A = this chain, B = another copy of it.
Amino acid sequence: MEEKLVKFESAFSIDCVIFGFEAGELKILLIERKDNPFKDWLALPGDLVKNHEGIEESAERILYELTGLRDLHMEQFHTFGDVNRHPRGRIITVAYYALIRIDGQRELKPGNFAKKALWHSVNDLPKLAYDHTEIFKTGFTKLRRRLSYQPIAYELLPEKFTLTQLQQLYEAILNKKLDKRNFRKKMLSYGFLKELDEKQKNVSFRAAKLYKFDRRKYSKIFQNELGVDIDNP
């Protein structure tokens, strides 16, 4: 373009609702803030977007800094821009959710603003800093809706999982009981679950068959359904 560039100072941030599934419960990752404002409160992980950083890029950076994980499914779900949402000035925030496999071994690195990062059950959250409670609720609603038309559950489960685990996850997200037989029938009918020659180990009862999600088959089955790009609908 022929005109000079105008330089603005960034005034936007990213906040992330990071979902995980553990012990039959849906959880999110929260940090405990070490500085004001909201010192000692729990908050969603987030940061200002840097000047030469796209917002997707920024969301991925924040997640990486906290969890050491890259290339996860992140999805922007809403932008919050009330004038007074941030006590330090006019900062609007773009909210993303991420789905990750909780791995007890992985060490979480809380980063600059946080004392520690911990998993909290979505059913038992305290009041969060800023407008983060509202952000969480909006994100959870979007996740729930998305579950009905996208195979996102598999991002939260280990690579190999049992049908009961899958069902528990659906129940945790949808917050209702499902019928075991109907659930299995339906999931298997889609044809994108691959039954493995393996079973659960170290359980004190009959071991269940393990399955994995076959992304190839999924894409083949649902490609161009309504002309919608499956990875960006």
Contacts and interface: CB of A to CB of B under 8 A. Distances in A.
A205 to B, nearest CB: 33
A5 B227 CA distance: 48
Count of identical protomers in the assembly: 2
A81 to B, nearest CB: 3
Interface in A126-144: 141, 144
A9 B11 CA distance: 7
Interface string A53-66: 11110000000000
A186 interface: no
Interface in A81-117: 81-83, 87-92, 94
Interface string A1-43: 1110111111110000000000000000000000011000000
Contact of A9 (B8, B144, B226, B228): B8
Interface string A142-164: 00110000000000000000000
Task: In the A-B complex, list the 5 residue pairs whose CB atoms are closest, starting with the nearest.
Answer: A55-B81, A8-B11, A1-B87, A6-B89, A79-B79
Interface of A: 1-3, 5-12, 36-37, 49, 51-56, 76, 78-79, 81-83, 87-92, 94, 141, 144-145, 175, 226-228, 233
